[in-house]
A and B are shown apart, each in its own frame.
Chain A
Amino acid sequence: MEIPYIVNARKDTGLNNSKIAIWLFLASEVMLFGGLFSSYIFLRIFADYPWPERVLPVLPGLLNTFILIASSVTVVFAWASLKLRNWKAFKGYMSFTLVCAAIFMVFKGFEYSAKLGHQNVQTTDFTNVEGHVHYDDNDKADNYYSVVTNEILFDLTSYYDQYLNRITKQIGDKKVTSAMDVVINDFDGDKLIQKPLVAKDTVLDIVADDGEEGSLRYILAEAKDSYIETRAHNEQVRESALRQAWKNVRSNEGNRFTAVTDLTQYDQAQKDAANEEYGRIVEAGDFGSILKNSGLFKVAVDNAKIDIKPSWGRMSEKKEGAKTGVSLLDQTVLAGVAGDSSIVLNVDAIDHRHLVMKGREREYSQDKINAMIEDWYANLGDSQGADQLRQYWGMHKEWRELWTAKLLKDYGTDEDGKANRVPIDIELYRITWKQMVSYKAIMDGKDEERNTVTLDNVKHFEPGMIAGFTGANHSKFNPTDDDHNVIAATASFPELKVAREDIRFESVFSPKMNNYYAIYFTITGLHGLHVIGGALVLGYYLFFGRKMYEENPEWLANRVEVAGLFWHFVDLVWIFVFPIFYLM
């Protein structure tokens, strides 16, 4: 059997099967991206936070646009070469297309990794501090809930091995003892054997795995088994009792249809009777007794400092030295004293717009809002980094005065005397990383003739597109010593310590940070998957198309055209993605 119109077009429609199919598929894709862009519009219009406008570095996006357009051109060239039966040219153009796809994904990778390595901390007054978090010994961003633990409560049904391993590793050789007597139930058929598993104050081995009797993991595993079995036993007893109770109630009553006029009340009375009967049967233990069964296991720890990733749970009191508890997602609770959980970061941007927005929502006066910002700087503490940030803010205020004046001068006022152009909030309330570099250079007197804040001087020292290819360039403007520590004197991005209790919300620049990044990652991620998918198909024709070309070159040409249509569509989506995310 042969399916018709695989290669050749059907006469009345003028199309072969795959041509129809790809257009249908593209129609579906239009709806997919239509849904995504609709969501973008929705999220942007209803954003109750300052939408991050024109924040992405433009250069990688621009280059990627050029690359995709170039690959779109070469893909039609490749198709045309096949139509002209020029295999060599096809190979050349197709290879170029695939190289473009690869470069596109590499740039995308640079962008993503820069975002994911960049931290945002929002303090309780809605000021956003952006920067690079210091790294811990494991080369991971140093961002933990720290608690000096003296007691851990495990939930037997849900404790999670990954968490447990991390906890025991950090306890190290500190002493861990059982804080309770545990007796387990062993059901051997109908016979119940109760045996003690561990006694209170027994020292537990926290390293050994669950094969070793007496170790923490062994106890947890055994107690868990026992808990689940006992729970099943108890439920069976209860179920049988309830069943019996209803049976008794039903058989005790007379004829329900003649005796009762109000069925609902009758039903209600029966329910009450059954519940009473149930209580009686359980009490009497007709179906066995209900066994005591605790799903928890508590251990005492000799004050071990344990660091937990914030995403693993919740900390009740965050101030250092306070009595606190960290409850993890697996219901494990660490109790103890809060340690130092602050985030230390090299600040490369400060943004007060959210604060300003909240202030305006509450109809605060501009003076009050300004005073709040000043307060924020005043409360930064005494560190060298804090001083530097205060200096930056002072210089930024100078700069924005000059900028306001320049706009007034250049664009004049309308008939009411209002300036035609005024600085936008982003200029007024955000110190960007480029400005920080400039302010630092001016501050340090890098150039004798440019040691005051003027528009020209600030512009002069601002790094260009290349230096800021993926955003704040820490390796260039925050030089480090041999031990990879930032040299404070030359750092453009000063160090700041933010105490945990002052943090309202923190995240790297991932989808979690806000919906701008969420939709950015979702749309560009899906687009990236399309690029990869398209490249795989095109690559298949490049590397395995030779045979098809020799058998039926027209067939291959059709297939490449169809795959090319998809590739153009991917380009077409990017043509919208680029301005929407990078330029608006």
Chain B
Amino acid sequence: MSADHHDHHDPPFWQKYIFSTDHKMIGIQYGITALLFLLFGFFLMMMMRWSIAYPQEPVPTWMSWVFTDEWKARWLTAGKVEGETYNMFGAMHGTIMVFLGVVPLGFGAFGNYVTPLQIGAPDMAFPKLNCASYWLYALGGILMCASFFMESGAAKSGWTNYPPLSSFADSQHPNQFFTGQTQWLLGLVLLISSSLLGSVNFITTIINLRAKGMTWMRLPFFVWAMLVTGFLLLLAFPPLEVAGIMQLVDRTVGSSFFQPSGLITDSGAADYAGGGSPLLFQHLFWFLGHPEVYVLLLPSIACVAEIIPANTRKPLWGYKSMVYAVLVLGFLSFIVWAHHMYLTGMGSSVSTFFQTTTVLISVPSVVLITSLLISLWGGSIRFTMPMIWACAFLPMFGIGGLTGLPLAFNLVDLHLHDTYYVIGHFHYVVAPGILFGLFAGIYYWYPKMFGRFMNNTLGHLHFWPSLIFINLVFFPMLLQGMAGFHRRWYNGGDGYIAAEGSSDVFGNVVNEYIGLNQLMSWSVFLLALAQIPFIINLFTAWKTGKKVENDNPWDATTLEWATPTPPGHGNFEFDVAVYRGPYEYSRPDCDEDFYPQWHEPKEQTSSDLDAGVLPDDKH
């Protein structure tokens, strides 16, 4: 089906699958790499959860078999995960999930695959940059993860890498270059370069390669979300690059950007000039860190916004308000960052300012989620696999968002800061929220990518356990957090347990809630089990799934469904023109319940087309 008549020769293997410049192949490459990283990040987290629930027991062999004896001897103690190793897993879990997993899956995979199709472009504006962007990402990820095998181990200072802790991390190694922390920073610089190339490419494509008739307000919401995401990446990442470079200089040349005067380590006064400030790093880091949250979120919400209208058979409710909301959201996300820093001793007027903007940003978020919710109202909902995931996204992301509100207020944050409540909050946003949205996307576009549906039974086997267990993982965290459980306890609070009848108040609170650790950990292990049907589904449906009957299996309206299945090089086999908005479902004046963007209206005249007036404008 994918015959491209301009290209008679088939490109060689490495050009077609490895250094491909086709946005669809790059999207798939991003997707597979990101899923592998997600799997790895998940595994690290299972190790951590074991240590939290059973700090005194060796890691069971069904997890620890991946390690060699020598690695275990270096990093485990009698088979148990101890503090340093836990920190390493924790730092890398966060890094992998955020930078190497979710962003590449949402922005890299879906953005790459779907955006050019939805705007009717033959490819990205700069295919070679697109290829470079993927390979920089892969290289950065490999660099970061390879440090697990170094003498120093991988980075251990949290995914935020706060100095001075991170400045001193691994500093005992004579060759600074081959240490986990330095490799982490180098990997980060590569990832930022990758996302810079990616975002320039996306924005240019969206601005300049839209098909004829694809005006701004006819762009599917997905494309709007990608445009905003692109700008977030473009403008928010450079300050982090600055921070990364400065920390690299600190580590390799010995400068003191983030080292205050008078630092003492356990081997005496630190050999630094001093005069710097760890706060500077935090400012630079969170200037990226907060927009990054929306970089994670927007692709996911964008997938859901495509799936809901197609499966309710009615237009997206409040398309325009969603577009404006996402623009406002993008703007506001740049001026809320210091709410991550309430406890750093910032002045009270600064706290107040950032508290205000933080509360403000919930308005556009609520506009988005409410519009999606109302879109369900009165629709004839088809509970297809993608729709089930999308429906689960709404309440899950809702919980994640609402639990964030208390954290926005600096007084409440005094109590909740650095507890499991924070962990529970942002995991609700990212795991059952964002990842569910992305799963929905995978089930939704899979038929376009491979011409076959994913299996429904396996899909249900994936969905229901995932939904149940993921809530059993994260909801207890909120309870534990409010009870004061610190987020960085590698032994889950084991050391704080009070003896029976003790007057130690905190110890008694720990006694009360520590049992939840085992519940959460077992939920995690079962959650892992629930992903197996998905993995099987992903790889077998490619060969054995139900074939699609036509190019538009969901009866959707946006342009990606106008391409052959799977789309060939150059995507479209006809001269694309767009005649109407993206979500024209159940229009009373049409025979079918959907009216695709590319369908030529019947009463169109050539003079209208010349004048740029399209028939639908007259309605």
Contact = CB atoms under 8 A, between A and B. Distances in A.
Tell me whether A and B are bound partners: yes
Contact of B511 (A38, A243, A264): A264
A235 B73 contact: yes
Contacts of A229: 70
Contact of B257 (A267, A330, A518): A518
Nearest to A163: B174
Given A228-B70, A264-B515, A513-B273, A275 B56 contact: yes
Interface string A32-66: 10111011001100111100000000000000000
A157 interface: yes
Interface in A263-284: 263-265, 267-268, 271, 274-275, 278
Contacts of B254: 311, 507, 510-512
A232 to B, nearest CB: 4
Interface string A149-169: 000000001101011000000
A262 B360 CA distance: 45
Contacts of A243: 57-58, 79
B267 A314 contact: yes
Contact of A1 (B69, B122, B174): B122
Secondary structure call for the A interface: helix
A29 B238 contact: yes
B394 interface: no
Interface in A224-260: 228-229, 231-232, 234-236, 238-239, 241-243, 246
B325 interface: no
Interface stretch (A16-24, A86-94, A442-450): A16-24
A49 B241 contact: no
Contacts of B274: 48-49
Interface in B29-87: 56-58, 69-70, 72-74, 76-80
Interface stretch (A2-10, A190-198, A374-382): A2-10
B200 A160 contact: no
A49 B275 CA distance: 7
A27 interface: yes
Interface string A273-302: 011001000000000000000000000000
A522 interface: yes
Given A42-B280, A511-B249, A3 B209 contact: yes
A25 B200 contact: yes
Contact of A24 (B69, B200, B497): B200
A345 interface: no
Contacts of A163: 174
B401 interface: no
A4 B126 CA distance: 11
B203 A28 contact: no
B238 A35 contact: yes
A533 to B, nearest CB: 12
B165 interface: no
A47 B106 CA distance: 42
A445 B196 CA distance: 64
Contacts of B80: 242
B239 interface: yes
A47 B79 CA distance: 48
Nearest to B243: A35
Interface string B293-316: 000000000000000000000000
A328 B200 CA distance: 46
A224 to B, nearest CB: 12
B151 interface: yes
A307 B235 CA distance: 49
B152 to A, nearest CB: 10
B500 A235 contact: no
Contacts of B74: 231
A198 B4 CA distance: 73
A2 B122 CA distance: 8
Interface in A474-514: 505, 507, 510-514
A355 to B, nearest CB: 15
Interface in B213-253: 234-239, 241-243, 245-246, 249, 253
Residue of B126, B255, B514 with most partner-chain A CB within 10 A: B255
Nearest to A510: B253
Interface string B164-204: 00000001111100000000000000000000100111011
B515 to A, nearest CB: 5
Nearest to B260: A48
B448 interface: no
B196 A20 contact: no
Contacts of A215: none
Contacts of B172: 329, 331
Contacts of B272: 512
A312 interface: yes
Contacts of A522: 245-246, 249
A541 to B, nearest CB: 17
Given A1-B123, A515-B275, A35 B76 contact: no
Given A264-B511, A511-B255, A27 B246 contact: no
B6 interface: yes
Contacts of A365: none
Contacts of B321: none
A391 interface: no
B330 to A, nearest CB: 14
A584 B466 CA distance: 60
Contacts of B7: 1
Given A1-B123, A239-B79, A515-B273, A231 B173 contact: no
Contacts of B199: 24, 28
A460 B124 CA distance: 67
Residue of B6, B74, B203, B276 with most partner-chain A CB within 10 A: B276
Given A39-B280, A512-B273, A238 B79 contact: yes
A42 B174 contact: no
Contacts of A32: 238-239, 241-242
A274 B56 contact: yes
B273 A505 contact: yes
A463 B608 CA distance: 79
A43 B276 contact: yes
A13 interface: yes
A465 interface: no
B511 A330 contact: no
B406 to A, nearest CB: 28
A327 interface: yes
A515 B257 contact: yes
B206 to A, nearest CB: 10
A3 B254 CA distance: 48
A232 B208 contact: no
B125 A24 contact: no
A232 B70 contact: yes
A232 B254 CA distance: 35
B588 interface: no
11 contacts: A17-B204, A20-B207, A25-B200, A39-B242, A229-B70, A232-B73, A236-B69, A246-B57, A263-B515, A274-B57, A510-B254
Interface of A: 1-5, 10, 13, 15-17, 20-21, 24-25, 27-29, 31-32, 34-36, 38-39, 42-43, 46-49, 157-158, 160, 162-163, 228-229, 231-232, 234-236, 238-239, 241-243, 246, 262-265, 267-268, 271, 274-275, 278, 310-312, 314, 327-331, 505, 507, 510-515, 517-519, 521-522, 526
**Top 10 closest A-B pairs, CB basis?**
A1-B570, A239-B79, A518-B255, A511-B255, A35-B242, A35-B239, A238-B78, A32-B238, A31-B238, A512-B254
Interface of B: 4, 6-7, 56-58, 69-70, 72-74, 76-80, 122-123, 125-127, 151, 171-175, 196, 199-201, 203-204, 207-209, 234-239, 241-243, 245-246, 249, 253-257, 261, 267-268, 271-277, 280, 283-284, 287, 497, 500, 511-512, 514-515, 569-570
Given A13-B208, A329-B173, A512-B255, 17 more contacts: A1-B569, A3-B127, A5-B209, A10-B208, A15-B208, A24-B200, A28-B238, A32-B239, A38-B283, A43-B275, A43-B276, A235-B77, A265-B500, A331-B172, A510-B255, A512-B272, A518-B249
